[in-house]
Amino acid sequence: MTLAAAAFVALACVAIIALSCWREWSSRQLELKNAETDMANLARSLTQHAEDTFELTDTVLNVLVNQFELEGTGPAAVAKVQAFLARRRAVNRIHGVFVYDETGRWLATSEPVTFTNLNNSDREYFQHHRASAERGTYIGRPVKSRSGGQWIITASRRFNHPDGSFAGVALTTIDVGYFLQFYHGFDIGPNGSIALATADGTILARSPDDGSYTGRDLSGAPLFRNLRERPAEGAYYFRSPLDDVQRLSFYKLSNRYPVIVVATQSEDDVLAPWRRAALSRMAVVVALIGALGSAGLLLVRQLRRGQKMAAAISAKEADFRLLAEHSGDMVTRISLEGRIRYVSPSSSRLLGWAPNQLLDTPALAGVNANDLPQVEQTVSFLRTGQAEEARIIYRNRHREKGEIWLETALRVTRNPKSGEIDGVVAISRDMTEHKDLEDKLAVLASSDGLTGLANRRHFDEQLESEWERAKREGTPLSLLLLDVDHFKKFNDQYGHQAGDGCLRSVARVLSEQARRPADVAARYGGEEFALLLPNTDAAGCAQVGERIRQAIRDLGILHALNPPSRLITLSLGGATHLPASDKLHCASLIEAADKALYAAKECGRDRLVMSGQVIAWPTSIRA
């Protein structure tokens, strides 16, 4: 017995070390995975920003090309365009606008320069359009501006004579500094970087920038060399050819323009907090192993002591059995070592095991892992004399039924001569039906009877709880309020049964989108629903809202009184808050989302409006 105890302690130490190593590895992978998610969100947002920028240049180029192809390149047409461009002030994104004839001679520009003798026929973008009949926008390699001297990104289009021959090039330029200034506003760590490049590997802009990155050709790098074989977006680990830093990155290839955004963090920066925490945890593990060794020595001594007390226990056993074996509850005697010394015949009915199958087995072997700490603590209090009796409810393994709920009353037994504790007596009964009834009542109290979602009371409780947690942890908390458009008209037109079916369909979509355990989908009242999204920023909230809105449209539920779609649609209001002040209350989040929902309705319904964004009211003129 002593040898077995020593072997157990040694095995436990090895197991603790193995589990600790596995935990640290899992923690490391989780840190990297979280960083991948952050970089993915950033890359997608920056790709959208780049696409919006190039779309703006597309609009300007389209106007110029149409103008020159309609009116030609005669002096009157050129003067008209030049007069317009001369009055044009450079906006944030577009730095300059230029027009060249078929020889490269400058026809018009928005820049305040004298261009009479200037010629751009040597530029790569000009030669591309002169050689190719393609009419689409061409994003060229970055060049030094002849009018300003700074690095610029060119976006150009060809325009033709009436006979289809080459007539010239319309060009817009974007200051590389615009992208650098925009990228500089993102916190990606001391060694992180953001790069915008063409799909063939030419760097258009990179932040941070030491002045040598713009225009560099990285087509030979693995990412660009195999880009056609890769998915349109994904995580990518590599050692940067620019600064030799091992990086964790996420790339996103635009599906509208031949550009790619790569957002990266230094792998060392990502893992630095994990390394510090791992060292602290390993120190605790070493201390735990030392304590376990000491506990092992104590266990060996207790085993020896138990052997001496076995004779005294046998003297009491006969009286104990007489009472226990005629009881409908299961009576168990547990030694100080935690093993079953006696179990009454009721074990066959209660647990599905005969008494002889349970004797000398660990008393807590069948306890559910989640309940085990509570049971162990209670037994420990009894064994150490901190309590004389206790009552606990827990789940326990059944031979045939899987798991059942047990209610167990425990009381210590003492040696008649010494008065010292020599074990524990446990009397157990089946509480499964009682617990099932409690669980059903709890569900009924917190859920909506029609949709099965959380009800308003449960939602309010979860909102307050998540608000406090977000305030403690400094994480964002998002809320979506959703309202079925013209639902009263739907009820009046199709009847209340159809209305109930519609609400249940909306509830199913919300349940599918509440993908994380902490997400709470609730029926807020009538045809209004709510979705609480802990640890979700505004971009994530908007993505979820758009998925819900589109999913409802995809259901295709007819609603003739809801033009123009004549389908059931949703109006959604979203709000995100980072609780940073004790003066604010969670009601402020509801108020912000409700105002955004009102704005969505005012703007025509079937849309998502995030709190704080600019709303284009019906009487406004869209730019």
Angle (nearest 5°) at CA 188 between 183 and 189? 130
The pLDDT value given to residue 96: 84
Task: With a cut of 60, say whether residue 615 has pLDDT above it.
Answer: no
Mean pLDDT of 263-291: 88
Task: With a cut of 60, say whether residue 314 has pLDDT above it.
Answer: no
Classify residue 407 by its DSSP letter.
E
Short-list 548, 531, 535, 546, CA closest to 590: 531
- Helices and strands in the chain, H and E counts: 15, 21
Mean residue pLDDT across the chain: 84
Residue 95 three-state SS: coil
Instruction: Give the tokens for residue 134.
Output: 């393609």
Q: How confident is the model at residue 623 (pLDDT cuts 50, 70, 90)?
A: very low
Distances (CA, A) of 547 to 293, 350, 483, 518, 600: 55, 50, 15, 19, 16
Task: With a cut of 50, say whether residue 42 has pLDDT above it.
Answer: yes
Task: With a cut of 80, say whether residue 328 has pLDDT above it.
Answer: no
The pLDDT value given to residue 568: 93
Q: What percent of the chain has pLDDT over 90?
A: 27
Phi, psi of 526 (to 5 degrees): 60, -125
Instruction: Give the tokens for residue 94.
Output: 């577009």
* pLDDT one-digit tens code per residue, 400-431: 878 888 888 888 888 877 888 888 888 888 87
Amino acid present at 545: G
Q: How confident is the model at residue 617 (pLDDT cuts 50, 70, 90)?
A: very low
Task: With a cut of 60, say whether residue 319 has pLDDT above it.
Answer: no
The pLDDT value given to residue 546: 94
Residues with Cβ within 8 Å of 305's Cβ and at least 6 positions away in sequence, in order, are: none
Instruction: Give the tokens for residue 160.
Output: 């033709």
Burial label, 28 (beta-carbon count in 10 A; 0-12, 13-18, 19+)? middle
The pLDDT value given to residue 147: 67
Q: At what angle do helices 487-494 and 496-513 cross, to 10 degrees?
A: 140
Task: With a cut of 90, say whether residue 6 has pLDDT above it.
Answer: no
The pLDDT value given to residue 574: 95
Mean pLDDT of 32-53: 90
The pLDDT value given to residue 170: 92
* pLDDT one-digit tens code per residue, 570-614: 999 999 988 665 567 888 899 999 999 999 999 999 999 998 643
Question: What is the rounded CA–CA span in Å between residue 513 and residue 482?
Answer: 13
- Is the pLDDT higher at 61 or at 1? 61
Q: How confident is the model at residue 544 (pLDDT cuts 50, 70, 90)?
A: very high
| DSSP character string of 510-550 | HHHH--STT-EEEEEETTEEEEEEET--HHHHHHHHHHHHH
* pLDDT one-digit tens code per residue, 153-179: 989 999 999 998 999 999 998 888 888
Task: With a cut of 80, say whether residue 483 has pLDDT above it.
Answer: yes
Instruction: Give the tokens for residue 487.
Output: 């639902």
Question: What is the rounded CA–CA span in Å between residue 500 and residue 548?
Answer: 19
The domains located in the chain, with CATH, are: 26-285 (3.30.450.20), 325-437 (3.30.450.20), 447-610 (3.30.70.270)
Task: With a cut of 50, say whether residue 191 has pLDDT above it.
Answer: yes
Classify residue 91 by its DSSP letter.
-
